[in-house]
Structure 1
Amino acid sequence: MAETAKNRPQELTRAELEIMQVLWAKEAVVVHDILDEMDEPKPAYNTVSTIVRILEKKGFVSHKAYGKTHEYYPLISKDDYARRYMDTVLNNFFGGSVSRLVSFFSENKAISLEETDAILDMLKKRK
C-alpha cells in the first residue's frame, strides 16, 4: 500500500530536532530548561515554546500542567525516531537496499578498517 501524506511518518525540522535532542536527554523539561541547553545565540523563549507546541501537535511531545507551568516529555524515543527516519532514507534514496546504502557510504565517506570489521561482526551476530 502506498503511503499517503496523512499516514507518512513526519520528519523533524532542524529546530524541532534540536529541541527533541534536549527532551530525549533530559526526559522531562520546561521551556527554560530547553533554552538552558541550547547553544548561543539562543532563540527567544516564545520561539522555543511555539516549536514545542508544534511538536505536541505532531505527536512527538506531550505535557503535564502544573498551574501555568507545562512540563514537556517525549512520546517517541530517539531510537524509534532514528529507525523511522532511516527507513525513509533507505527507501527514498537506496530503493530499500541496505547494501546500496553501505556502498554509498563506503564510496563517499572514509570507512576505516576497524569500522568495516565492526559492521561485519554485527552482521555475523545477527545470523
Structure 2
Amino acid sequence: MKELTRAEEEIMQVLWTIGSAFVKDIIDQLPDPKPAYSTVSTIVRILQQKGFVGHKAVGQSHQYHPLITKANYTKSFMKGFVKRYFDGSYQEMVSFFTKEQKLSVSELESLVKDLKKLKTKKL
C-alpha cells in the first residue's frame, strides 16, 4: 500500500471520520485557512488513482468515500515506519518512545499487560 502525503492524509482523516462526502463537505471539515476547492478536488482524484477513495455519482457531482479503512492504513504505515526508522524492530521503537516520551512505570506496565493479552489471544 502506498503511503499518503500529508495533504492526502488530512483528507483521508476527514473521510474516515464522516464516511462519505462531497468536496465541499471535506473543505468544511478542514482547518483554517481552507484550501481552494480545486486543490481538494485534485487531491481526492489522486486518492482515487491510488485506490484509497471511491465515488458515487450524484447528479453532476461526486460523493467520495474511503475504500481503505483507517485501521488497515495505520497497520501498513506502521510496518513501513518501523522498518525505515527502527530496522524493523518493534522493541527498538518502543524503547525509543519510552525514552523520548518519558513513559511512567504505570504506562509501561499497562503496555506489558496489553501485550500479554495479545499473546494469549494468538496462542
Alignment partners' CA distance in 2, 1:64 and 1:25? 18
- Is 1:24 aligned with 2:37? no
Taking structure 1 as the reference length, what is the TM-score of the superposition? 0.89
Q: Helix, strand or coil for the counterpart of 2:106?
A: helix
Equivalent pairs, count? 119
Alignment partners' CA distance in 2, 1:121 and 1:24? 29
- Is 1:88 aligned with 2:80? yes
Q: Which has the higher helix share?
A: 2
The letter of the residue matching 1:93 is Y
- Is 1:69 aligned with 2:31? no
- Is 1:15 aligned with 2:11? no
| 1:20-77 residue CA offsets vs partner (Å, 9 max, x unmatched) | 0000001110001101101110001111001000000011001000121100000000
Alignment partners' CA distance in 2, 1:37 and 1:113? 38
Identity of matched residues, %: 50
2:43 to 46, 51, 64: 51
> Is there any run of 5+ residues in structure 2 with no aligned partner, and where?
none
Taking structure 2 as the reference length, what is the TM-score of the superposition? 0.92
RMSD of aligned residue pairs (Cα, Å): 1.0
Q: Which runs of 4+ in 1 moved over 3 A?
A: none
Alignment partners' CA distance in 1, 2:51 and 2:33? 28
1:79 to 71, 86, 102: 71
Alignment partners' CA distance in 2, 1:69 and 1:114? 52
